[in-house]
């Protein structure tokens, strides 16, 4: 996207450009540096506590709202923690500095210094004794129009969404805490975190169409990984007994609230464990992530209550399809019926177990019924949250399944699993 030319700019943006020119002409750097905050807004508020006045703080953040009242002004400063009110006056700053403060625009990034006090209405506030313009904003904030509502802009310009919608920032924080909680649990159980190749010659480990790229030095086509699985399993062959990776994967598929072309996966593998063991691990990971984010295990999402307290229900796929459709099916048809007509009806956390072997080329067959494999998916509110299985360890059986998948691929199924001779060798 090219920058707009001056005559095409909205009036408010032209005004901001003129302010920028005036600042430069006055010898004021509109993009200065060297300001060192001593507190976040949340820490400054805590410093005041229930007192009427407290010591001096130095804060930096984005000016969000400004209200002028003659020789004084109130403003809201937003940093990564929260918002805090500022109070500036001509008497304290002096006429020149107060005029400069009054000329600030919402969106400008500033640093302020001054003591904390409480207004007559009880609002924690910084009494601005000095300030520094750190970044002059040349575009108005969307909050001027009561928040950012345009979904297209929110997704394409996420930085604007984060400025305008504080609840979105909370999602980012919660995600970070959840990942930390899961890491802590796995580390405490002697799992080793590793990194595996993103560029792969064979894009295995899942049913998905890969992204293709080209390595110029090798003059060879490579794929962005669609899963972490096969390289992690190679590490088990090499002698590690518990490994995990949290990494990005890439799938060249449609876009929807359920599918993104790139997303983060947690995959972990444990030697000598079976899918019953992994179900318990998944339950523990769900609890650990919720607790790390400070969220209750019984919660409401979009008006629907969800109970994450273990143990989760366990239901055979064939039984669920029979219950909800009245039909008995097997193989690919069973899986299709489940995905098309049943999965969306599962609301509470449920392990859907015993998948047909036709859609599970890497899973161990059930000893009592080899038409099915020891595999489960965790479904909550109609969506898949986890997929796991007891690993197939028979290399001859694995080769037969890869050959069947390769035949599907040759027949035009671009999501069928490709042959991976190196994995079979391992």
Helices (H), 295-413: 317-325, 331-337, 395-410
What is the predicted pLDDT for the residue at 144? 45
Contact 249, 265 (CB under 8 A): yes
- Across the chain, which has 426 residues, the per-10-residue mean pLDDT values are 62 93 93 97 96 96 94 96 95 96 96 97 97 96 60 79 85 96 98 97 84 96 94 94 97 83 96 95 98 96 95 98 96 96 97 94 90 97 95 84 82 77 78
Question: Could you give the count of Cα atoms lying within 13 Å of 131 in the half-sphere of its Cβ?
Answer: 33
- Nearest-angstrom CA–CA distance, 325 and 319: 10
Coil, helix or strand at residue 325: helix
What is the predicted pLDDT for the residue at 6? 58
- Nearest-angstrom CA–CA distance, 411 and 249: 26
What is the predicted pLDDT for the residue at 1? 44
Helix-then-strand count for the chain, H and E:
13, 18
What is the predicted pLDDT for the residue at 7? 60
Helices (H), 189-214: none
Pairing of strands 242-250, 262-270: antiparallel
Pairing of strands 72-78, 109-118: unpaired
Contact 329, 338 (CB under 8 A): no
What is the predicted pLDDT for the residue at 205? 76
Rounded (5°) CA angle 172-177-183: 130
Helices (H), 26-77: 41-48
What is the predicted pLDDT for the residue at 312? 98
- Closest listed residue to residue 69, CA positions, set 53, 87, 52, 84: 87
- Nearest-angstrom CA–CA distance, 338 and 328: 11
Q: Could you identify the residue written with the tokens 């890491």?
A: 183
Per domain, the residue ranges of the chain are 6-144
- Nearest-angstrom CA–CA distance, 141 and 90: 26
What is the predicted pLDDT for the residue at 145? 45
- For domain 6-144, give the CATH number: 2.40.50.140
What is the predicted pLDDT for the residue at 3? 54
**How much is the pTM?**
0.84
């Amino acid at each position: 996207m090219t920058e707009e030319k001056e005559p095409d700019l909205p009036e408010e943006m032209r005004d901001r450009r003129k302010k920028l020119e005036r600042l430069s002409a006055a010898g004021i750097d509109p993009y200065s540096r060297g300001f060192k905050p001593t507190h976040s807004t949340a820490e400054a508020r805590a410093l005041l506590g229930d007192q009427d006045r407290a010591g001096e703080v130095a804060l930096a953040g984005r000016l969000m709202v400004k209200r002028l009242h003659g020789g004084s002004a109130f403003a809201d400063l937003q940093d990564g923690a929260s918002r805090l009110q500022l109070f500036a006056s001509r008497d304290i700053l002096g006429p020149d500095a107060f005029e400069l403060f009054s000329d600030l625009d919402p969106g400008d990034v500033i640093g302020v210094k001054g003591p904390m006090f409480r207004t007559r209405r009880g609002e924690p506030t910084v009494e601005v004794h000095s300030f520094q313009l750190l970044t002059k904003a040349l575009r108005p904030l969307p909050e001027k129009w009561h928040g950012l509502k345009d979904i297209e802009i929110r997704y394409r310009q996420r930085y604007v969404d984060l400025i305008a919608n504080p609840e979105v920032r909370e999602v980012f924080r919660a995600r970070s805490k959840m990942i930390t909680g899961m890491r802590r649990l796995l580390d405490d159980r002697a799992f080793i975190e590793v990194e595996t190749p993103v560029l792969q010659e064979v894009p295995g480990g899942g049913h998905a169409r890969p992204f293709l790229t080209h390595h110029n030095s090798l003059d060879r086509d490579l794929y962005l990984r669609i899963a972490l699985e096969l390289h992690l399993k190679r590490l088990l062959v090499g002698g590690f007994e518990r490994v995990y990776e949290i990494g990005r994967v890439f799938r060249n598929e449609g876009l929807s609230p359920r599918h993104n072309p790139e997303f983060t996966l947690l995959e972990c593998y444990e030697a000598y464990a079976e899918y019953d063991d992994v179900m318990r691990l998944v339950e523990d990971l769900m609890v650990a992530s919720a607790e790390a984010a400070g969220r209750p295990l019984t919660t409401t999402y979009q008006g629907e209550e969800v109970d994450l307290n273990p143990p989760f229900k366990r239901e055979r796929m064939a039984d669920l399809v029979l219950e909800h459709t009245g039909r008995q099916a097997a193989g690919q048809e069973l899986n299709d019926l489940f995905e098309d007509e049943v999965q969306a009806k599962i609301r509470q956390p449920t392990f859907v177990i015993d998948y047909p072997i036709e859609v599970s080329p890497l899973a161990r067959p059930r000893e009592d019924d080899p038409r099915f494999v020891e595999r489960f998916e965790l479904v909550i509110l109609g969506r898949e949250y986890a997929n796991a299985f007891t690993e197939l360890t028979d290399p001859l059986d694995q080769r037969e399944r890869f050959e069947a998948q390769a035949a599907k691929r040759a027949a035009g199924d671009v999501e069928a699993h490709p042959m991976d001779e190196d994995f079979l060798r391992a």
